[in-house]
Amino acid sequence: MEHALETTLTVNGQKVTRRIEPRQHLVDFLREELGLTGSHIGCEHGVCGACTIRVNGEIVRGCLMLAVQADGCNVETIEGLSDSKELAPLQKAFHERNALQCGFCTPGMLMAAQDLVRAGKKCTRDQIREHISGNYCRCTGYQAIVDAIEEVLG
């Protein structure tokens, strides 16, 4: 812990202070130190989107941000947005439309999709696809995911 820095951040509404090694990225910190294993780790170099979380209201790649960079930030994860019911409409639509199979990409996919829902704009299917282009799903072929997001967007 040679380089560890005291870091304070808010995670799903709770203030957390820990000594963190700079080399630890944010999603590892959430999973390993806080036990929030809903954000998944796929590629660890910003390609797959499984670790998508929200920092200060914007979605980011959890593997492309160091945990020490989150000092003073407000971090929200799939756990927080599920508990607050913010994701309930998308979760229901994903369930009903069979928009997940193995479920590995789903937390990141929901975080990215909710970003569109929050923007409150009507989107074409192409625009939905473009918005989730940074989130890989290896099971569904995306069709059902786009169906579910389209349903929630209305």
Q: Using DSSP bridges, classify how beta strands 74-76 and 14-20 pair: parallel, antiparallel or unpaired.
A: unpaired
52 binds other proteins (CB under 8 A): yes
Q: Are 101 and 139 within 8 A, CB to CB?
A: yes
Q: Which stretch binds other proteins (CB under 8 A): 41-49, 79-87, 96-104, 146-154?
A: 41-49
| 101 phi and psi angles, rounded to 5 deg | -120, -75
Distance in Å, CB of 38 to other proteins, minimum: 16
Task: Choose among 96, 86, 91, 123: nearest CA to 106.
Answer: 91
74 binds other proteins (CB under 8 A): no
Task: Choose among 62, 42, 152: nearest CA to 105.
Answer: 42
Neighbour-count burial of 85, counting CB atoms closer than 10 A to its CB (0-12 exposed, 13-18 middle, 19+ buried): exposed
Q: Are 62 and 31 within 8 A, CB to CB?
A: no
58 binds other proteins (CB under 8 A): yes
Please say which residue, 92 or 125, places its beta carbon nearer to other proteins: 125
89 binds other proteins (CB under 8 A): no
Distance in Å, CB of 44 to other proteins, minimum: 4
Q: Are 59 and 112 within 8 A, CB to CB?
A: yes
Distance in Å, CB of 96 to other proteins, minimum: 25
Rule CB under 8 A: which of 94-133 touch other proteins?
A: 112, 115, 129-131, 133
Please say which residue, 8 or 133, places its beta carbon nearer to other proteins: 133
Contact set with other proteins (CB under 8 A)? 2-3, 5, 21-23, 25, 28, 44-46, 49, 52, 58-61, 63-66, 68-69, 71, 112, 115, 129-131, 133-135
